[in-house]
Amino acid sequence: MKITVFNGSPRAEKGNTNIMVEAFLEGARASGAEAETVFLTHKKIHPCVGCYTCWLKTPGKCAIQDDMAELLPIMYASDIVVFATPVYVDNVSGITKNFMDRMIPVADPYFEKDAGGECRHKITSKVPKIMVISNCGFPEQSHFQVLKLLFKRIARNMSTELIAEIYRGGGAILSEKSFMLWFPLRHYKSLLRKAGGEVVKHGKISAELQEELGKPIIPEAQYIKSAEMYFKKELAKIGHK
Ligand SMILES: Cc1cc2nc3c(=O)[nH]c(=O)nc-3n(C[C@H](O)[C@H](O)[C@H](O)COP(=O)(O)O)c2cc1C
């Protein structure tokens, strides 16, 4: 099984999203998957210009010559694609959105009705199953409501299955050095590894594990207090209150 992660955090290797991805992939690899992460910020991906060349002039091929030409074949060759993104302004990061816009060569212009009677474009390429890994700065899990709906729609648009979603509110804790060896953080990473194993073995995350993954790593009030202390300390360094 081939899993490809498209990580849309501008912080790439050093980001909180990647900390989640690494633990997840560790579990997936231990269960036999072949897995790689593509850091989108290291790639040249221009915004879609809406010229429809990929539909009407050179079907399946975009007019823009940049790194998307190598990324789409990687997607087609994967069994599972993971969209990994931080929450930016209640949505996916701009890098991720750019990447998703440039995926339109997977479809052709013709309309078809889905099972619910709603139109979508006909998918002409082999598309993988998809999943999501995301984190955000605020502590509540409710900050993922836009992403939850968005990826449900993306799976519908791509005529594929959204097999798993891992969302982590209070994501700043993941890279907080003083918490590295702290038991709750190590426990959370072990849950991510388990999720990687379950996705490879069963093609989904069990309801029990999903519930565990959604629990706060640190009590909300403690998270807010430590965030405030951090901002205060950083602003004091520049003489700002
Ligand atoms: C431009 C920008 C917008 C953000 N918007 C949100 C937001 O709407 N809600 C939220 O909870 N966190 C928001 N955040 C915080 C990030 O989601 C958070 O810092 C996350 O841990 C970053 O992940 P990364 O290290 O993988 O990039 C935002 C951060 C930036 C820079």
Q: Is the CB of 16 under 6 A from ligand 1?
A: yes
User: CA distances (Å), 177 to each of 83, 169, 174, 191, in order?
Assistant: 26, 18, 8, 20
Quote the CA–CA distance of 186 and 194 in Å, as a whole number: 12
Q: Which atom of ligand 1 is nearest to the CA of 14?
A: 25
Q: Which of 186, 217, 192 is nearest to 205 (CA)?
A: 192
DSSP state of 127: P
Nearest CA to ligand 1 atom 4: 88
The per-residue pLDDT for 178 is 79
Contact (CB, 8 A) for 145 and 167:
no
Class of domain 2-237: alpha beta
The reported pLDDT for the residue numbered 180 is: 72
Output the CA 171–ligand 1 centroid distance in Å.
9
Ligand 1 atom 15: the closest Cα is on which residue?
A: 137
Q: Is the CB of 8 within 6 Å of ligand 1? A: no
Q: Are 215 and 188 in contact (CB under 8 A)?
A: no
78 lines ligand 1 (CB under 6 A): no
pLDDT tens digits for range 11-64: 999 999 999 999 999 999 999 999 999 999 999 999 999 999 999 999 999 999
pLDDT computed for residue 158 by the predictor: 97
* CA of residue 12 relative to chain centroid, distance: 12
Amino acid at 62: C
Domain boundaries, the chain: 2-237
Separation of alpha carbons 103 and 62, rounded Å = 9
Which residue's CA is the nearest one to ligand 1's atom 30? 88
Q: Calculate how far, in angstroms, residue 78's C-alpha sits from the geometric centre of ligand 1.
A: 28
| Residue-level pLDDT at 194 | 98
- Beta 107-113 vs 119-123: how paired, if at all? antiparallel
Between the alpha carbon of residue 196 and those of residues 5, 33, 39, 133, 190, the distances in Å are 12, 9, 19, 11, 10
Q: Nearest-CA neighbor of 139 among 228, 18, 20?
A: 228
Kindly report the protein residue whose alpha carbon is nearest to atom 20 of ligand 1. 136
Number of residues assigned to the chain: 241
pLDDT value of position 181 = 73
Q: Is the CB of 94 under 6 A from ligand 1?
A: no
| Predicted pLDDT at 157 | 97
Residues 6+ apart with CB under 8 A from 229: none
Interval between CA 214 and ligand 1 midpoint (Å): 18
| Terminal CA-CA length for the chain | 52
pLDDT recorded at residue 179:
74
Q: How far is the CA of 220 from the centre of ligand 1 (A)?
A: 17
| Amino acid 168: pLDDT | 98
| Cβ-based neighbour number of residue 146 at 10 Å | 13
Element (H or E) spanning 222, and its range? helix 220-237
Q: How far is the CA of 1 from the centre of ligand 1 (A)?
A: 31
Give the model's pLDDT for residue 84. Answer: 99
What are the per-10-residue average pLDDT scores of the chain (241 residues)? 98 98 98 98 98 97 98 97 99 98 96 97 95 98 98 98 98 87 92 98 98 96 94 95 79
